[in-house]
Structure formats: C-alpha cells, structure tokens
Structure 1
Amino acid sequence: MTDYDVLRVFCGPDGRHGNTLGVVRRGSAVPGTAERQALARKLGFSETVFVDDPERGVIDIYTPTLRLPFAGHPCVGTAWLLDVPELVTPAGPVGARLEGEFNWIEARPEWAPPRTLRRYDSAAEVDALPVPEPGEWIYAWAWEEEAAGRIRSRAFPGRGDGIDEDEATGAAALLLTAQLGRALNIAQGRGSQILTAPRPDGLIDVGGRVRLEATERL
C-alpha cells in the first residue's frame, strides 16, 4: 500500500480551484524511477512528488510521462506540506517560506522547462481559446490591468497524456516574470491565483495558497 496526499496549489482568494498535486511522503515505498513513473501515470495528476528526505526537503518530481528536475506548483505545495525552509531538487536548492496565507518559493527561471509564452490582446481572447492539438507547451496570456501587473492566463501542456489544460503552473509564471521583469498577479484557469516577483540576485519569488484536499491510499 502507498499513501499519498492530494493538495491544491495556487488556490484562488475563496480557497477554491488551484492545481491538484500528489505527494508521496514516504518516497522509499516507491524506490525506482520506473516504478515512480508508473505510479505518476496511474494517479494522473499533472505532477506527482516523491519525498526522499522529509527533513532536508529532498524531492523527486514526475508528470504522467516524464521526470522533471524542477516544477513550480509541486515545489510550492510540497514545501508547504513538509514545512521546510528549503527543498532539494535535481535543478538546485529551492528556498521556501510562509507569509500569511501564501507559501513562497525562490527559483531560477532557467530551471523551468521550455514553454511557448503566447501573448493575446485581451483576457477575453484567452478565455475563448480552445484546447489545441497535442504539440508544443503553450502558456497563453494577456494583460488584465498592465499598470497593476494583473494578468489572465491559461496553460496547455500539449503532451497528449490526458491533461489538456493545467489549472495553475508556477514554472510558466516564472518564465513570464523573467521575460517581463516585474511582479505579477496572475489569474489562471478557472480561478487560480499565482503571485510572482523578481529579485536582484536573479531568483524569482513564486507564491500561492495551498490546501490539503485528502490523504489517500493506493
């Protein structure tokens, strides 16, 4: 039997929405790469995290089809769940902190997987987009209020693994923040919220609300 927690990361102000995340706190229960990939595929979350050392924050991240050196919403959610000041990922150390209702991570934009950042003229255009055919990973965005840094976005992984649209994606928000060079307040998907801010040292803060949805056994 394998126990795992189900989180929602980057919830909206009302505590709803957010992207679901599976976290296997006892990663030793699923020790091999092939076994972890198979479990991530079976669970079907956009990402599943295996915790290899809860005290040091050592984690291993998988989508249903591949292993990732870093990903935004898995790091935000797992840091909140473990209550640690740092996560250790294959990409590098990820600082973490809790401020009020928001959990924050510090990461480098070059750690994020490649994404096509596609700008539209209005939030209404982004809202009306159909899910594209499998192919490139597209982050569609538009200004809602440019002076205030408010953005409307949707994310289409294009992987063909049954996940047509990601509800909230920290890595894409990281890349967009690096491109625009300013703090952002992003409304993504059906009602998720992501906050970001660039730092002088090249790191970018990414923050959001996290909720524990359930603890399951497989």
Structure 2
Amino acid sequence: MREYEFVLADVFTERVFGGNQLAVLPDARGLTDEEMQALAREFNFSESAFVLPPDDAAHTRRVRIFTPDEELPFAGHPTVGTAAVLAARGAVRDRLLLEEGVGLVSVEVEGTFSRLTLTSPYETPDHYPSVTAVAKALSVSPEDIVETWYGGVGLRFCFVRLADRAAVDRTVLDRTAWLAEPTSGEWSRNLYVFAGHFKDGGRLYSRSYADMLGGAEDPATGSAAAGLVAAMAQRHGCRAEEYTLRIDQGVAMGRPSDIHASARARDGALTSVSVGGHTVIVGGGTLHLPD
C-alpha cells in the first residue's frame, strides 16, 4: 500500500469555504499519469495539483495540474494555492520557481498571500466572437453586451463585457447553444463575463464558465484575470509601467473570491502579468493507494 498526503485549500479568499477549492499533493512522486487523473476526478474540484521534483535543480518544484477530465498546461488558482501550501509547510522560501506546462512560473509568497508572475505573451486572434452567439449562449440580450473579444496569457478565453453587475448575475450558460456556434471553438470556448470599471485601478465583477470544466461555473479564474489585465494594458498601448485590476468572482455561487491582477510594460511592450490572492488551508489527510 502506498500513502500520499493531500492538503485541501480555498484560494483567492481569506475565509474558509470561500474562493476556489484546491487539492494539493505536496509529494506526488510515484504516481502515474492515469492515477493523477483518477485522483483529480475523485476530488472533483475544478483543479487538483500534483507536486514533483523539478527537472532543473535550479527551480523549486514541478507542478502538474488536472481538472476532473484533463491535464492543463497552467491555471491560476492551483499555482497560487500550491505555492501557499508549500510555504505554509515550510518546504520552500518566499519565492518559488515552478515548472508548469506553459514554462517557468515565478511565485512570491508573503504570509497567506501568493502572487504568480508570467512572462508569456498576450495572445489574441484577428477575429472576434459573435455578439449574437455569445448573447444566446449566456441567456442575455445582445443589448446587454458592451463588447466581446478573444484573448489569453497561458490559457485562452472569450471575454464578454456586460453593461452592469445585474446583467452578469442574469447570465445562465446554454452550453448546447454555445457549442453549436460554428466559430465558438476556433479560439476558445471558455466564457468569462464581467462588468465594472475596466480601467487601471478599477474593480470588476465577474463570472466564468469554463469549457475545460464541462461548462461549469468557476468561482475564481486566475488565468482569465491574467488575460484581462494584459488586454487592458495592450489597449492603452502599454504606455504606463504598470496596470492593476481587482476582480470579485464567485459571489453568485456563494464562494466569493478576491483576485489581484497587474500587468507591467516597458518601452511600449508588455513584459509580464501577475495574479495574486490569499489562500486558506482547510484540512487534509492521507490517501491509501494499492501498490
């Protein structure tokens, strides 16, 4: 019988039972790919993180992230939460270099607050999502939609800016309608809706319907926050050195999240994006797996 310790945490929150749930295996050595996927399905959180020794000894750890259905190259709340869990256990110092599918991710930890930094480029295609298709998929009127676009840093999203918070709360995903839209899968089917002051220093109210989670609502989506603040910096021509956003998500689900996002630029070009928040450790235990 093999034994593996696991830790349960709530990420992007300062209170238990808020934010986004995460299962972390601080030492996943010996687990096969199939076992990691099966355990992610067993925990049935939006993501679970499996920590391994780094491929490069100069780095802190290697982290593999799984939804109940697939492995992801990167995700925000598992990265932030895993760093906080490792720091709380005294296993690492206050700055970590984590190897993930998108490459090296730097994370700074101060107490319960962790902030990841990505240097991956902001990606956006030449085409835009159909407002009519997006409105139908979200069960809102086209008049509720201010703008839509595709973008992402690490993970891709269909961003939908709505007129106000009430419109965000009215959204109900019709996944069948969204999957039926011929162009919805060309770049991303992950729908991220928001309203508020989309400007430097602004605060947004959001909801996220992640195709990678089968269309389920996600209480906190750090990877989307990274893409959103990068998009804002790009719109301003990256003329300032730093842009910041605060994002409230998960409120309608009863799991409120508070996400801090920032983008930095130099000489008119985006250089990095950061996403951070608090993590609360809820509990943990031991898994008993057959040899």
TM-score by length of 1: 0.89
- The alignment's C-alpha RMSD in Å is 2.2
Q: Which amino acid aligns with 2:175?
A: E
**Which of the numbers 246, 249, 274 marks the counterpart of 1:188?**
249
* Of 102, 105, 113, the match for 2:116: 105
Q: 2:105 matched to 1:94?
A: yes
Q: Which residue of structure 2 aligns with residue 171 of structure 1?
A: 223
Aligned residue number for residue 175 of structure 2: 133
Contact 2:11 2:278 survives alignment (8 Å): yes
- Find the aligned partners of 2:191 and 2:103 in 1 and give their Cα distance: 25
Identical positions, percent: 33
Residue 114 of structure 2: SS of its match in structure 1?
strand
The structure with the larger Rg is 2
Cα 1:90/1:35, change in 2 over 3 Å: same
Cα distance in 2 for residues equivalent to 1:22 and 1:40 = 8
Structure 1 partner of 2:160: 118
Partner of 1:150: 203
Amino acid at match of 1:174: A
* Cα gap change, 1:132 to 1:144, in 2 (>3 Å): farther
Separation (CA, whole Å) in 1 of partners of 2:200 and 2:105 = 30
Contact 1:123 / 1:144 at 8 angstroms: preserved in 2?
no
Moved over 6 A (4+): none
Q: 1:72 aligns with which of 73, 76, 80?
A: 76
Q: 2:66 aligns with which of 53, 62, 65?
A: 62
Structure 1: tracts of 5 or more residues without a match: none
Q: How much does 1:112 deviate?
A: 2.0
Q: Contact 2:45 / 2:68 at 8 angstroms: preserved in 1? A: yes
Distance 2:261 2:113 in 1: 11
* 1:47 alignment partner in structure 2: 47
Q: Residue 82 of structure 1: which of 70, 83, 86 is its match?
A: 86
Question: Relative to structure 1, is the Cα distance of residues 160 and 76 closer, same or farther in structure 2, using a 3 angstrom cutoff?
Answer: closer
**What do residues 194-214 of structure 1 show as CA deviations (whole Å, max 9, x unaligned)?**
001112262111110101011
Deviation of the 1:102 alpha carbon: 2.4
CA–CA distance in 1 between the matches of 2:84 and 2:112?
A: 11
Q: Within 1, Cα distance between the matches of 2:213 and 2:40?
A: 15
Task: Give the deviation of 1:117 after TM superposition.
Answer: 0.7
Aligned residue pairs total 215
Q: What is the deviation of 1:109?
A: 5.1
For 1:65 and 1:185, locate their aligned partners in 2 and report how far apart those are by CA, in whole Å.
30
Summarize deviations over 1:80-125 as a string: whole Å, max 9, x none: 1112422121211111112465211101354522111111011111
1:145 deviates by: 7.3
1:205 aligns with 2:268: no
Q: Structure 2: 5+ residue runs without aligned partners? A: 122-152, 180-188, 234-242
Over 3 Å counting, the alpha-carbon distance change for 1:16 and 1:206 in structure 2 is: same
- Contact 2:67 2:213 (C-alpha < 8 Å) held by counterparts: no
